[in-house]
Chains A and B, each alone.
Chain A
Amino acid sequence: MRKLTCITCPNGCALMAEQTDGEIRVSGNRCSRGVDFAVSELTHPMRTISGTMRTVFPELPVAPVRVSAEIPKERIFDVMHEISRMEIKTRMRRGDVVIANVLGLGADVIVTGDMMSSKKP
């Protein structure tokens, strides 16, 4: 029996997950996403991660980035290392991919802020 707190949404349901003969039974969840979360947490925990990437633009020294899909929890620092090695040289829009399929994990690193100059359009 493992106590978990679902982090899928702000409700933060207190879950109980029981594993018997390879079958995982979950209680305390208010929606089906709680079951998915508990099963994933007991088998292969996944997380999303955000960070910043350096740019060449003086008024915007770093740009916000995140992974487009969940990555294995134990690879978070590897992905952070990839993000820290790169530098953005062209102005990008939010959603643009800066690292496709990062470390072969099936998720892209995307820019999440519009990197336009600060002047009014």
Chain B
Amino acid sequence: MTVYDVLVIGGGPGGLAAAISAKKNGADVLLLEREARLGGILKQCIHDGFGLLRFGEKLSGPEYAGRFEDEFHSRSIAYEVQTFVTAILKKKDGFLVRAVNRQGVQEYRTKTLILATGCRERTAKQVAIHGTRPAGIFTAGCAQHFVNLMGQMPAKRCVILGSGDIGLIMARRLTLEGAKVLGVYEVKPEPSGLTRNLIQCLEDYDIPLYLSRTVTRVFGTERLTGVETMRVDEEMRPIPGTKERISCDTLILSVGLIPENEIAEELGVPLDPKTKGPVCDNRFMTMTEGVFSCGNAMHVNDLVDYVSESGEIAGAAAAAYTRADRRLISLKTDDSMLYLVPQRLDLSGGCGGLTLYFRSRESLTEGTLLISVDGREVFRKNYRNLKPPEMERLTLDTSGFGLTEQSGVRLSIVKGGDRV
């Protein structure tokens, strides 16, 4: 049986970039994808705006994926589609991956694994809305699948709950296809999507955005007939006397994404409660030897360009992987950050280039990122317009930080700019 150097699970932007990068670095690579076509969620993201950082162009999702697929095929990387991984067993010298496809049950052996399994949408059951269970309640991604891949319209009059980017994109998409979008309701006092999407998806089409207001009940037996909305207080509790009933046939939920890590959990890979993805080192290897993570499985990104970048880092690292003791130190944060990736830094084998991804907990017009080692400041950077929905990325040369295994590294964001 062939023993691959790197087996990538997932053929979306993270997995494609990881496989290409691993192959470029001399590895024997196999990629498994459960759907019939490569490209992952990008297949249904027909709007433009992808690849501005990487290609300097506003591509649609399928175009962005297509460029990676072309390179993937030109490098003759082995892959299987419609192949679903059912179990992974740890072996002495790697992993045994069991999968099922139309040819039956398959087994593959590999030295390393890259989990590029993406993320899943939170569903109606996870946001606890009262009422009946009629047809007409969709997650935004599900509605997007109907419209953009199947060519079916799921809505005529619709309400959107949650101001995540997919919800905003779908507000515009459904409007363009002739539906009436009555409003986007956001329980938080601030929108959770990118600012540019608030402008080009809502403002451009006069779709109202209601902040600190949520859907509390749905009505209808066969099909949704309406929803009830209420204002909420600072603790997101509904305020009595603010009920409003809206008649509509569709409720679309854009209430958050969660990294998909079922396989990781079965392997015993520790997850970070903040990102809900695996705890990783600077090469995006998880705390389980030989298991790497990238893209939205590691943390939910807002730009695909970063998904590809993390795939490339993980792919190159998996190709170069040799079982050696890591010398890990923690990168600690405080409440000023929603999360920080990676969570660990491996001091073995040099740690010159470090790519960090983080989100500020608060919206700050001016903020400063401070990095300290044992209480001594080693790095600072000023930021304008830090916002929780907009992830920041930074590459750092840590070689001058004087790091040892005993070092306490701390990252935090403080309000204000130069004079902090």
Contacts and interface: CB of A to CB of B under 8 A. Distances in A.
A11 B392 CA distance: 10
Contacts of B66: 94, 112-114
A112 B385 CA distance: 33
Given A73-B204, A114-B66, A50 B60 contact: yes
A72 interface: no
A9 B199 CA distance: 12
A12 B199 CA distance: 10
A14 interface: yes
A112 B62 contact: yes
Contacts of A118: 36-37, 81
Interface in B161-208: 176-177, 194-196, 198-200, 204
A118 B200 CA distance: 33
B172 to A, nearest CB: 9
Interface residues of A, number: 34
B115 to A, nearest CB: 23
A113 B43 contact: yes
Interface string B26-58: 000000000011000001001111001100001
Contacts of A61: 149-151
A47 B150 contact: no
Interface in A37-77: 47-52, 54, 61-62, 64-66, 73, 76-77
Chain B interface size band reads 35 or more
A51 B148 CA distance: 8
Contact of A48 (B43, B58, B61): B58
Interface in A76-106: 76-77, 80, 94-95
A66 B204 CA distance: 18
Of listed A9, A12, A73, residue having the most chain B CB within 10 A: A12
B303 interface: yes
B148 A52 contact: yes
Given A10-B196, A50-B46, A62 B62 contact: no
A47 B204 contact: yes
Contact of B199 (A7, A48, A54, A114): A7
A28 to B, nearest CB: 9
Nearest to B195: A12
B148 A10 contact: no
Contacts of A94: 62-63, 66
A7 B52 contact: no
B147 interface: yes
A70 B169 CA distance: 18
A94 B43 CA distance: 12
B59 interface: yes
A91 to B, nearest CB: 14
A113 B150 contact: no
Nearest to A112: B60
Contacts of B81: 118, 120
A64 B46 contact: yes
A64 B150 CA distance: 11
B152 to A, nearest CB: 8
A101 B209 CA distance: 35
A22 interface: no
B245 interface: no
Contacts of A13: 385
- CB-CB nearest 5 A-B residue pairs: A113-B62, A12-B195, A62-B151, A64-B46, A112-B60
Interface of A: 5-7, 9-14, 30, 47-52, 54, 61-62, 64-66, 73, 76-77, 80, 94-95, 112-114, 118, 120-121
28 contacts: A5-B198, A6-B196, A7-B199, A7-B200, A9-B52, A10-B53, A10-B302, A12-B385, A47-B204, A50-B60, A52-B148, A52-B151, A61-B149, A61-B150, A62-B149, A62-B150, A64-B60, A73-B204, A80-B177, A94-B62, A95-B63, A112-B46, A112-B59, A113-B60, A113-B66, A114-B62, A114-B69, A121-B73
Interface of B: 36-37, 43, 46-49, 52-53, 58-63, 66, 69, 73, 81, 147-151, 176-177, 194-196, 198-200, 204, 302-303, 384-385, 390
